[in-house]
Structure 1
Amino acid sequence: MDALYYSYTRQHLTAVMDKVGQDRAPILITRQKGEPVVMMSLDDYNALEETAYLLRSPKNAKRLAKSIESLRAGRGVVRELLNED
């Protein structure tokens, strides 16, 4: 993860925000008198929140892990998508 100083980020805010959005990679912003923060795209944040929500339930987390294991073992099933007419 790239890291930038707060003062640089403030001076180049638009460019930094564009980079975060285009690269789809978060940036760590450091400060002299405060905790560092992370800037990330809204899409990445929403995906992170959704993942956290899905894994919050131990039962659901176990079911998802089992499904991922099945896919990695080659036991996935390819299906045709239905038309949404």
Structure 2
Amino acid sequence: MHSISVNQFRDNLKTYIEQTVSDHEPIKVTRRAGESFIVMSADDWEREQETLHVLQSSTLMQQIAESIGTHKNNDGYKPTQEQLNEITSL
């Protein structure tokens, strides 16, 4: 994560915002008093929130673990050729 001073951020606000949105890389902005804040795109923030929601849900984590197990054992759902043709024709 790139770290800059609040003065640098203020002086080049537009450039840093465009960089953050296009690169999907948050920027850490440090104030003189030592306090910092993070600038990130709204899309990236929403994605982080979704990830946190999944990680905090024991039910979802259990479903993921079970899915990994069936995948490793090759026990998962196998669509018919007709279903595959329908999916790939979209």
TM-score, structure 2 length as denominator?
0.72
Specify which structure has the higher proportion of helix: 2
**1:46-72: CA deviations, max 9, x gaps?**
00111111222212122224435655x
More strand by share: 1
Give the RMSD, CA atoms, in angstroms.
2.7
In structure 2, stretches of 5+ residues that fail to align are none
Deviates more, 1:40-49 or 1:61-70: 61-70
In structure 2, distance between residues paired with 1:43 and 1:36: 21
Residues in 1 aligned to 2:45 and 2:17: alpha-carbon distance in whole angstroms: 14
- Specify every segment of 5 or more residues in structure 1 that has no aligned partner in the other structure, as ranges: none
Report % sequence identity.
27
Supply the distance in 1 between the matched residues of 2:42 and 2:14 (Cα, whole angstroms).
15
Deviation string for 1:22-68 (max 9, x for gaps)? 11111111111142111111100000111111222212122224435
Give the number of aligned pairs.
82
Ranges of 4+ aligned residues in structure 1 off by more than 6 Å: none
* Structure having the higher Rg: 2
Give the alignment's TM-score, normalised by structure 1.
Answer: 0.75
> SS of 1:25's equivalent?
coil
